[in-house]
Structure 1
Amino acid sequence: MKQSELKSFLDEKADLYNRMDFITSDPVQIPHRFTQKEDIEIAGFLAATIAWGNRKSIISSANKMMDLMGNAPYDFVMSATEDDLARLQSFVHRTFNGQDFAAFVHGLKHVYTEHRGLEAVFARHRNGNGMQQSICEFKKIFFTTTDSPRTHKHVSDPMNNSAAKRINMFLRWMVRDDRRVDLGIWTSIPASALSCPLDVHSGNVARKLGLLQRKQNDAKALAELDATLRKFDPNDPVKYDFALFGLGVFEGF
Protein backbone atom coordinates (compact mmCIF):
# COMPACT_ATOMS: atom_id res chain seq x y z
CA MET A 1 0.00 0.00 0.00
CA LYS A 2 1.38 3.42 -0.99
CA GLN A 3 1.89 6.03 1.72
CA SER A 4 -0.91 8.18 0.31
CA GLU A 5 -3.26 5.18 0.29
CA LEU A 6 -2.25 4.22 3.81
CA LYS A 7 -2.89 7.76 5.05
CA SER A 8 -6.35 7.77 3.43
CA PHE A 9 -7.12 4.38 4.98
CA LEU A 10 -6.04 5.53 8.45
CA ASP A 11 -7.89 8.84 8.11
CA GLU A 12 -11.06 6.93 7.23
CA LYS A 13 -10.70 4.54 10.18
CA ALA A 14 -9.84 7.34 12.61
CA ASP A 15 -13.01 9.18 11.62
CA LEU A 16 -15.04 5.97 11.90
CA TYR A 17 -14.07 5.35 15.53
CA ASN A 18 -13.62 8.93 16.71
CA ARG A 19 -17.36 9.25 17.29
CA MET A 20 -19.51 9.99 20.33
CA ASP A 21 -20.86 6.44 20.48
CA PHE A 22 -17.29 5.25 21.15
CA ILE A 23 -17.62 6.77 24.64
CA THR A 24 -20.25 4.30 25.80
CA SER A 25 -17.76 1.41 25.84
CA ASP A 26 -14.60 3.27 26.80
CA PRO A 27 -13.14 4.58 30.11
CA VAL A 28 -13.16 8.11 28.64
CA GLN A 29 -16.82 8.15 29.70
CA ILE A 30 -15.68 8.70 33.30
CA PRO A 31 -14.31 12.25 32.86
CA HIS A 32 -17.22 12.98 30.52
CA ARG A 33 -19.50 12.71 33.56
CA PHE A 34 -18.19 16.04 34.92
CA THR A 35 -18.22 19.70 33.91
CA GLN A 36 -15.72 21.39 36.26
CA LYS A 37 -12.18 21.41 34.84
CA GLU A 38 -10.54 19.98 37.95
CA ASP A 39 -13.16 17.24 38.29
CA ILE A 40 -12.62 16.24 34.66
CA GLU A 41 -8.83 16.16 35.11
CA ILE A 42 -8.87 14.08 38.28
CA ALA A 43 -11.55 11.68 37.04
CA GLY A 44 -9.64 11.23 33.79
CA PHE A 45 -6.30 10.73 35.51
CA LEU A 46 -7.66 8.09 37.88
CA ALA A 47 -9.63 6.28 35.17
CA ALA A 48 -6.60 6.21 32.88
CA THR A 49 -4.39 4.98 35.73
CA ILE A 50 -6.43 1.79 36.12
CA ALA A 51 -7.05 1.33 32.38
CA TRP A 52 -5.68 -2.12 31.84
CA GLY A 53 -7.60 -5.35 31.44
CA ASN A 54 -11.23 -5.76 30.42
CA ARG A 55 -12.83 -2.43 29.52
CA LYS A 56 -16.10 -3.22 31.29
CA SER A 57 -14.13 -3.98 34.44
CA ILE A 58 -12.13 -0.75 34.07
CA ILE A 59 -15.30 1.33 33.73
CA SER A 60 -16.91 -0.42 36.69
CA SER A 61 -13.85 0.14 38.89
CA ALA A 62 -13.51 3.77 37.81
CA ASN A 63 -17.15 4.40 38.69
CA LYS A 64 -16.47 2.89 42.12
CA MET A 65 -13.59 5.33 42.53
CA MET A 66 -15.89 8.23 41.78
CA ASP A 67 -18.51 6.89 44.21
CA LEU A 68 -15.90 6.60 46.97
CA MET A 69 -15.02 10.25 46.32
CA GLY A 70 -18.65 11.32 46.60
CA ASN A 71 -18.74 11.97 42.85
CA ALA A 72 -16.88 15.22 43.56
CA PRO A 73 -13.26 14.25 42.89
CA TYR A 74 -11.65 17.70 43.20
CA ASP A 75 -13.46 18.54 46.42
CA PHE A 76 -12.51 15.15 47.82
CA VAL A 77 -8.84 15.59 46.91
CA MET A 78 -8.65 19.00 48.50
CA SER A 79 -10.63 18.29 51.68
CA ALA A 80 -10.43 14.54 52.43
CA THR A 81 -10.00 13.68 56.10
CA GLU A 82 -8.21 10.62 57.42
CA ASP A 83 -11.59 8.94 57.81
CA ASP A 84 -12.38 9.73 54.16
CA LEU A 85 -9.08 8.23 53.06
CA ALA A 86 -9.67 5.16 55.23
CA ARG A 87 -12.82 4.42 53.20
CA LEU A 88 -10.67 4.11 50.10
CA GLN A 89 -8.96 1.04 51.53
CA SER A 90 -11.75 -1.18 50.25
CA PHE A 91 -10.92 -0.37 46.63
CA VAL A 92 -9.16 -2.92 44.42
CA HIS A 93 -8.60 -3.01 40.67
CA ARG A 94 -6.07 -5.65 39.70
CA THR A 95 -2.83 -4.49 41.40
CA PHE A 96 -4.10 -0.97 42.21
CA ASN A 97 -5.50 -1.03 45.75
CA GLY A 98 -6.80 1.28 48.45
CA GLN A 99 -3.31 2.12 49.66
CA ASP A 100 -2.41 3.29 46.16
CA PHE A 101 -5.69 5.20 45.87
CA ALA A 102 -5.02 7.15 49.08
CA ALA A 103 -1.47 7.89 47.96
CA PHE A 104 -2.81 9.20 44.65
CA VAL A 105 -5.16 11.53 46.52
CA HIS A 106 -2.19 12.90 48.48
CA GLY A 107 -0.20 13.29 45.27
CA LEU A 108 -3.03 15.11 43.52
CA LYS A 109 -3.52 17.46 46.44
CA HIS A 110 0.19 18.30 46.33
CA VAL A 111 -0.04 19.00 42.59
CA TYR A 112 -3.02 21.35 43.04
CA THR A 113 -1.83 23.15 46.14
CA GLU A 114 1.86 23.50 45.30
CA HIS A 115 2.04 23.40 41.49
CA ARG A 116 -1.20 25.02 40.23
CA GLY A 117 -2.75 21.78 38.98
CA LEU A 118 -2.20 18.97 36.50
CA GLU A 119 -2.21 21.07 33.35
CA ALA A 120 0.34 23.50 34.75
CA VAL A 121 2.75 20.70 35.67
CA PHE A 122 2.60 18.97 32.30
CA ALA A 123 2.80 22.25 30.36
CA ARG A 124 5.67 23.69 32.41
CA HIS A 125 7.93 20.70 31.89
CA ARG A 126 7.25 20.10 28.21
CA ASN A 127 10.52 19.83 26.32
CA GLY A 128 10.67 20.02 22.51
CA ASN A 129 7.88 18.50 20.43
CA GLY A 130 6.91 15.65 22.74
CA MET A 131 5.60 14.99 26.24
CA GLN A 132 7.98 12.27 27.41
CA GLN A 133 10.23 14.49 29.56
CA SER A 134 7.13 16.18 30.93
CA ILE A 135 5.70 12.83 32.02
CA CYS A 136 8.95 12.01 33.78
CA GLU A 137 8.99 15.33 35.65
CA PHE A 138 5.32 14.98 36.54
CA LYS A 139 5.99 11.61 38.13
CA LYS A 140 8.70 13.12 40.35
CA ILE A 141 6.39 15.90 41.52
CA PHE A 142 3.37 13.66 41.92
CA PHE A 143 5.15 11.23 44.21
CA THR A 144 6.75 13.87 46.43
CA THR A 145 4.30 12.83 49.16
CA THR A 146 4.90 9.07 49.03
CA ASP A 147 7.92 6.78 48.85
CA SER A 148 5.97 3.55 48.30
CA PRO A 149 7.55 1.59 45.41
CA ARG A 150 4.31 -0.33 44.85
CA THR A 151 2.44 2.92 44.25
CA HIS A 152 5.16 4.47 42.08
CA LYS A 153 4.80 1.67 39.53
CA HIS A 154 1.30 2.90 38.66
CA VAL A 155 2.72 5.93 36.81
CA SER A 156 5.07 4.91 34.02
CA ASP A 157 8.28 6.75 33.23
CA PRO A 158 9.31 7.14 29.56
CA MET A 159 12.86 7.82 30.71
CA ASN A 160 12.92 4.20 31.90
CA ASN A 161 11.96 3.08 28.37
CA SER A 162 8.24 2.73 29.09
CA ALA A 163 5.71 3.52 26.35
CA ALA A 164 3.59 5.04 29.16
CA LYS A 165 0.39 4.00 27.40
CA ARG A 166 -2.08 5.02 30.10
CA ILE A 167 -0.70 8.47 30.81
CA ASN A 168 -0.37 9.22 27.09
CA MET A 169 -4.03 8.24 26.78
CA PHE A 170 -4.90 10.62 29.63
CA LEU A 171 -3.04 13.43 27.87
CA ARG A 172 -4.94 12.69 24.66
CA TRP A 173 -8.22 13.01 26.54
CA MET A 174 -7.23 16.35 28.07
CA VAL A 175 -5.54 18.01 25.08
CA ARG A 176 -7.30 16.99 21.86
CA ASP A 177 -10.20 19.34 21.21
CA ASP A 178 -12.33 17.74 18.51
CA ARG A 179 -15.71 17.98 20.31
CA ARG A 180 -16.22 14.24 20.03
CA VAL A 181 -14.46 11.65 22.20
CA ASP A 182 -11.61 13.68 23.66
CA LEU A 183 -12.44 16.50 26.04
CA GLY A 184 -9.82 19.08 25.00
CA ILE A 185 -9.93 21.17 28.19
CA TRP A 186 -6.19 21.95 28.23
CA THR A 187 -5.13 24.86 26.04
CA SER A 188 -1.45 25.20 26.97
CA ILE A 189 -0.31 22.00 25.23
CA PRO A 190 -0.70 21.49 21.47
CA ALA A 191 -2.07 18.26 20.04
CA SER A 192 1.07 18.04 17.92
CA ALA A 193 3.04 17.19 21.08
CA LEU A 194 0.98 14.11 21.95
CA SER A 195 2.04 10.49 21.54
CA CYS A 196 -0.08 7.49 20.62
CA PRO A 197 -1.13 5.35 23.61
CA LEU A 198 0.86 2.32 22.46
CA ASP A 199 -0.42 -1.06 23.66
CA VAL A 200 -0.71 -4.64 22.37
CA HIS A 201 -3.61 -3.86 20.03
CA SER A 202 -2.29 -0.64 18.49
CA GLY A 203 1.25 -2.03 18.32
CA ASN A 204 0.20 -5.17 16.47
CA VAL A 205 -1.89 -3.23 13.96
CA ALA A 206 0.89 -0.69 13.44
CA ARG A 207 3.35 -3.49 12.64
CA LYS A 208 0.95 -5.17 10.21
CA LEU A 209 0.52 -1.86 8.41
CA GLY A 210 4.28 -1.23 8.28
CA LEU A 211 4.09 1.80 10.58
CA LEU A 212 6.30 0.22 13.22
CA GLN A 213 9.24 -2.18 12.99
CA ARG A 214 10.37 -2.53 16.61
CA LYS A 215 8.91 -5.63 18.26
CA GLN A 216 8.70 -4.41 21.87
CA ASN A 217 6.02 -1.94 22.95
CA ASP A 218 8.44 0.40 24.71
CA ALA A 219 9.58 4.03 24.55
CA LYS A 220 11.77 3.38 21.50
CA ALA A 221 8.83 1.84 19.66
CA LEU A 222 6.67 4.81 20.64
CA ALA A 223 9.25 7.24 19.25
CA GLU A 224 9.31 5.27 16.00
CA LEU A 225 5.53 5.24 15.74
CA ASP A 226 5.32 8.94 16.63
CA ALA A 227 7.73 9.85 13.83
CA THR A 228 5.65 7.87 11.32
CA LEU A 229 2.27 9.26 12.40
CA ARG A 230 3.55 12.84 12.42
CA LYS A 231 4.32 12.49 8.73
CA PHE A 232 0.62 11.78 8.11
CA ASP A 233 -0.63 14.63 10.31
CA PRO A 234 1.96 16.77 12.12
CA ASN A 235 -0.72 18.82 13.86
CA ASP A 236 -2.75 15.92 15.26
CA PRO A 237 -0.78 12.66 14.96
CA VAL A 238 -2.51 10.95 17.87
CA LYS A 239 -5.88 10.94 16.12
CA TYR A 240 -4.61 7.75 14.49
CA ASP A 241 -4.89 6.04 17.85
CA PHE A 242 -8.59 5.66 17.03
CA ALA A 243 -7.72 3.91 13.77
CA LEU A 244 -5.14 1.55 15.30
CA PHE A 245 -7.28 0.76 18.33
CA GLY A 246 -10.47 0.29 16.32
CA LEU A 247 -8.81 -1.95 13.77
CA GLY A 248 -7.31 -4.10 16.52
CA VAL A 249 -10.18 -4.32 19.02
CA PHE A 250 -13.29 -4.04 16.87
CA GLU A 251 -12.12 -5.48 13.54
CA GLY A 252 -9.51 -8.03 14.67
CA PHE A 253 -7.15 -6.66 12.01
Structure 2
Amino acid sequence: MHHILLVEDDMSLANWVSEYLTEQGFTVTHKARGDEVLDVILNTPIDLVLLDVMLPGLNGIEVCRAIRQHKSLPIIMLTARADEFDEVIGLEAGADDYVIKPVRPRALLARINRQLTNKQLNTPPDNKLTFGELVINQEAKRVTYQGEEIELSTSLFSFLTFLAEHAGTVVDRDSVFKALKKREYDGQDRRFDVMLSTLRKVFNDDPQKPQKFKTVWGKGYLFVSDAWQENSTTPKSET
Protein backbone atom coordinates (compact mmCIF):
# COMPACT_ATOMS: atom_id res chain seq x y z
CA MET A 1 0.00 0.00 0.00
CA HIS A 2 1.55 3.28 -1.13
CA HIS A 3 1.60 6.25 1.23
CA ILE A 4 0.82 9.65 -0.32
CA LEU A 5 1.43 13.01 1.35
CA LEU A 6 -1.17 15.56 0.20
CA VAL A 7 -0.22 19.19 0.86
CA GLU A 8 -3.25 21.38 0.11
CA ASP A 9 -4.81 24.28 2.02
CA ASP A 10 -8.17 24.07 0.20
CA MET A 11 -9.96 21.80 2.67
CA SER A 12 -12.81 20.92 0.31
CA LEU A 13 -10.35 19.75 -2.37
CA ALA A 14 -8.12 18.03 0.19
CA ASN A 15 -11.05 16.09 1.63
CA TRP A 16 -12.31 14.66 -1.67
CA VAL A 17 -8.82 13.89 -2.97
CA SER A 18 -8.01 12.09 0.30
CA GLU A 19 -11.28 10.17 0.18
CA TYR A 20 -10.85 9.22 -3.49
CA LEU A 21 -7.26 8.04 -3.09
CA THR A 22 -8.16 6.09 0.04
CA GLU A 23 -10.87 4.32 -1.96
CA GLN A 24 -8.20 3.45 -4.54
CA GLY A 25 -6.12 1.70 -1.89
CA PHE A 26 -3.66 4.45 -0.91
CA THR A 27 -2.78 5.67 2.56
CA VAL A 28 -3.08 9.47 2.61
CA THR A 29 -1.57 11.97 5.04
CA HIS A 30 -2.82 15.54 4.66
CA LYS A 31 -1.07 18.77 5.59
CA ALA A 32 -2.40 22.28 4.93
CA ARG A 33 0.84 24.25 5.40
CA GLY A 34 4.12 24.14 3.51
CA ASP A 35 6.24 24.54 6.63
CA GLU A 36 4.83 21.28 8.07
CA VAL A 37 5.98 19.09 5.18
CA LEU A 38 9.65 18.43 5.88
CA ASP A 39 8.98 16.99 9.32
CA VAL A 40 6.60 14.44 7.76
CA ILE A 41 9.03 13.59 4.97
CA LEU A 42 11.88 12.96 7.39
CA ASN A 43 9.89 10.91 9.89
CA THR A 44 7.30 9.01 7.82
CA PRO A 45 7.79 6.59 4.90
CA ILE A 46 6.21 8.55 2.03
CA ASP A 47 6.04 7.22 -1.55
CA LEU A 48 4.74 10.31 -3.39
CA VAL A 49 3.88 13.95 -2.64
CA LEU A 50 0.92 15.88 -4.07
CA LEU A 51 1.98 19.47 -3.50
CA ASP A 52 -0.08 22.63 -3.99
CA VAL A 53 1.80 25.65 -5.36
CA MET A 54 0.15 28.33 -3.22
CA LEU A 55 0.50 27.42 0.45
CA PRO A 56 0.77 29.24 3.78
CA GLY A 57 4.10 28.95 5.60
CA LEU A 58 6.19 28.00 2.54
CA ASN A 59 5.01 27.97 -1.06
CA GLY A 60 5.11 24.78 -3.10
CA ILE A 61 8.30 25.62 -4.99
CA GLU A 62 10.17 26.26 -1.71
CA VAL A 63 8.80 23.04 -0.25
CA CYS A 64 9.79 21.10 -3.36
CA ARG A 65 13.38 22.34 -3.10
CA ALA A 66 13.49 21.45 0.59
CA ILE A 67 12.24 17.91 -0.08
CA ARG A 68 14.82 17.41 -2.84
CA GLN A 69 17.64 18.14 -0.39
CA HIS A 70 16.68 14.97 1.47
CA LYS A 71 14.57 12.65 -0.71
CA SER A 72 14.18 11.57 -4.34
CA LEU A 73 10.53 10.53 -4.08
CA PRO A 74 8.07 11.61 -6.83
CA ILE A 75 6.49 15.06 -6.50
CA ILE A 76 3.37 16.15 -8.43
CA MET A 77 2.52 19.85 -8.18
CA LEU A 78 -1.08 21.08 -8.04
CA THR A 79 -1.85 24.53 -9.43
CA ALA A 80 -5.04 26.54 -9.90
CA ARG A 81 -3.91 28.25 -13.11
CA ALA A 82 -1.43 27.45 -15.84
CA ASP A 83 0.18 30.89 -15.50
CA GLU A 84 0.54 30.42 -11.73
CA PHE A 85 3.02 27.62 -12.20
CA ASP A 86 6.21 28.17 -14.16
CA GLU A 87 6.95 24.74 -15.62
CA VAL A 88 10.68 25.41 -15.93
CA ILE A 89 11.04 26.71 -12.36
CA GLY A 90 8.93 23.87 -11.00
CA LEU A 91 10.86 21.14 -12.77
CA GLU A 92 14.19 22.77 -11.91
CA ALA A 93 13.07 22.77 -8.26
CA GLY A 94 12.63 19.01 -8.55
CA ALA A 95 8.96 18.44 -9.43
CA ASP A 96 8.27 15.38 -11.58
CA ASP A 97 4.90 16.46 -12.96
CA TYR A 98 2.10 18.96 -12.42
CA VAL A 99 -1.70 18.97 -12.60
CA ILE A 100 -3.89 22.02 -13.26
CA LYS A 101 -7.03 22.40 -11.17
CA PRO A 102 -9.87 21.53 -11.25
CA VAL A 103 -8.39 18.11 -10.68
CA ARG A 104 -9.99 15.22 -12.57
CA PRO A 105 -9.94 12.08 -10.38
CA ARG A 106 -9.03 9.50 -13.02
CA ALA A 107 -6.41 11.75 -14.61
CA LEU A 108 -4.82 12.38 -11.21
CA LEU A 109 -4.80 8.65 -10.46
CA ALA A 110 -3.11 7.96 -13.81
CA ARG A 111 -0.40 10.55 -13.07
CA ILE A 112 0.20 9.09 -9.61
CA ASN A 113 0.43 5.51 -10.88
CA ARG A 114 2.82 6.55 -13.66
CA GLN A 115 5.18 8.25 -11.22
CA LEU A 116 5.10 5.31 -8.80
CA THR A 117 5.79 2.89 -11.67
CA ASN A 118 8.69 5.04 -12.91
CA LYS A 119 10.13 5.10 -9.42
CA GLN A 120 10.02 1.30 -9.16
CA LEU A 121 11.57 0.82 -12.61
CA ASN A 122 14.30 3.46 -12.41
CA THR A 123 15.52 3.35 -8.81
CA PRO A 124 18.19 0.75 -8.00
CA PRO A 125 17.58 -1.28 -4.82
CA ASP A 126 20.42 0.41 -2.93
CA ASN A 127 19.75 3.85 -4.48
CA LYS A 128 23.43 4.18 -5.37
CA LEU A 129 25.30 4.10 -8.65
CA THR A 130 29.03 3.42 -8.31
CA PHE A 131 31.68 3.69 -11.03
CA GLY A 132 35.22 3.51 -9.70
CA GLU A 133 35.65 6.59 -7.52
CA LEU A 134 32.31 8.11 -8.54
CA VAL A 135 29.31 7.43 -6.28
CA ILE A 136 25.84 8.81 -7.03
CA ASN A 137 23.45 8.50 -4.09
CA GLN A 138 19.98 8.92 -5.57
CA GLU A 139 18.12 8.88 -2.27
CA ALA A 140 20.25 11.59 -0.64
CA LYS A 141 20.84 13.50 -3.90
CA ARG A 142 24.60 13.45 -3.28
CA VAL A 143 27.56 12.89 -5.57
CA THR A 144 31.06 12.04 -4.39
CA TYR A 145 34.16 11.63 -6.51
CA GLN A 146 37.59 10.61 -5.25
CA GLY A 147 36.21 10.88 -1.72
CA GLU A 148 35.01 14.47 -2.07
CA GLU A 149 31.42 15.67 -2.30
CA ILE A 150 30.52 17.42 -5.55
CA GLU A 151 27.83 20.09 -5.49
CA LEU A 152 25.46 19.97 -8.45
CA SER A 153 22.21 21.73 -9.29
CA THR A 154 19.06 19.61 -9.38
CA SER A 155 19.04 19.60 -13.19
CA LEU A 156 22.71 18.58 -13.44
CA PHE A 157 22.22 15.84 -10.85
CA SER A 158 19.25 14.47 -12.79
CA PHE A 159 21.17 14.55 -16.07
CA LEU A 160 24.26 12.90 -14.57
CA THR A 161 22.09 10.21 -12.95
CA PHE A 162 20.22 9.51 -16.18
CA LEU A 163 23.50 9.12 -18.12
CA ALA A 164 24.96 6.90 -15.38
CA GLU A 165 21.86 4.69 -15.37
CA HIS A 166 22.52 4.10 -19.07
CA ALA A 167 26.30 3.73 -18.74
CA GLY A 168 27.96 2.24 -21.79
CA THR A 169 24.94 3.00 -23.98
CA VAL A 170 24.55 5.97 -26.31
CA VAL A 171 21.35 7.82 -25.34
CA ASP A 172 19.79 10.08 -27.95
CA ARG A 173 18.58 13.61 -27.20
CA ASP A 174 14.93 12.66 -27.63
CA SER A 175 15.21 10.03 -24.89
CA VAL A 176 16.86 12.55 -22.58
CA PHE A 177 14.17 15.16 -23.17
CA LYS A 178 11.35 12.67 -22.66
CA ALA A 179 12.89 11.38 -19.42
CA LEU A 180 13.95 14.69 -17.87
CA LYS A 181 11.71 17.31 -19.49
CA LYS A 182 8.63 15.18 -20.19
CA ARG A 183 8.53 16.29 -23.83
CA GLU A 184 10.07 15.40 -27.16
CA TYR A 185 13.26 16.98 -28.46
CA ASP A 186 12.41 19.87 -30.81
CA GLY A 187 15.64 19.65 -32.80
CA GLN A 188 16.92 23.01 -31.58
CA ASP A 189 17.11 23.06 -27.78
CA ARG A 190 20.80 22.66 -26.82
CA ARG A 191 20.43 22.75 -23.04
CA PHE A 192 21.76 19.23 -22.51
CA ASP A 193 24.77 19.93 -24.73
CA VAL A 194 25.55 22.86 -22.42
CA MET A 195 24.97 20.71 -19.35
CA LEU A 196 27.31 18.02 -20.70
CA SER A 197 30.00 20.70 -21.09
CA THR A 198 29.38 21.77 -17.50
CA LEU A 199 29.76 18.20 -16.24
CA ARG A 200 33.04 17.92 -18.12
CA LYS A 201 34.30 21.03 -16.35
CA VAL A 202 33.14 19.81 -12.96
CA PHE A 203 34.85 16.42 -13.36
CA ASN A 204 37.89 17.73 -15.27
CA ASP A 205 37.08 15.80 -18.42
CA ASP A 206 39.12 17.30 -21.28
CA PRO A 207 36.56 18.70 -23.78
CA GLN A 208 39.00 18.12 -26.64
CA LYS A 209 39.58 14.48 -25.71
CA PRO A 210 36.77 13.54 -23.31
CA GLN A 211 37.06 10.22 -21.50
CA LYS A 212 34.10 10.30 -19.11
CA PHE A 213 31.35 12.04 -21.09
CA LYS A 214 31.37 11.60 -24.84
CA THR A 215 29.18 13.08 -27.54
CA VAL A 216 28.57 10.65 -30.39
CA TRP A 217 27.91 12.73 -33.48
CA GLY A 218 24.45 12.24 -34.88
CA LYS A 219 23.46 9.85 -32.08
CA GLY A 220 23.69 11.33 -28.60
CA TYR A 221 25.57 11.09 -25.30
CA LEU A 222 27.70 8.35 -23.78
CA PHE A 223 28.65 7.93 -20.12
CA VAL A 224 31.85 5.84 -20.01
CA SER A 225 31.61 3.51 -17.04
CA ASP A 226 35.29 2.51 -16.81
CA ALA A 227 36.75 6.05 -16.92
CA TRP A 228 36.40 6.94 -13.24
CA GLN A 229 39.50 5.35 -11.70
CA GLU A 230 42.29 7.69 -12.71
CA ASN A 231 43.96 10.05 -10.27
CA SER A 232 43.04 13.32 -11.90
CA THR A 233 42.88 16.83 -10.52
CA THR A 234 40.28 17.37 -7.83
CA PRO A 235 36.93 18.11 -9.53
CA LYS A 236 35.33 21.52 -9.27
CA SER A 237 31.96 22.14 -7.66
CA GLU A 238 29.42 23.74 -9.96
CA THR A 239 29.20 27.49 -9.60
Structure 1-normalised TM-score? 0.28
Structure 2-normalised TM-score? 0.29
More strand by share: 2
Query: Which structure is richer in relative contact order (CA contacts within 8 A, separation 6 or more)?
Result: 1
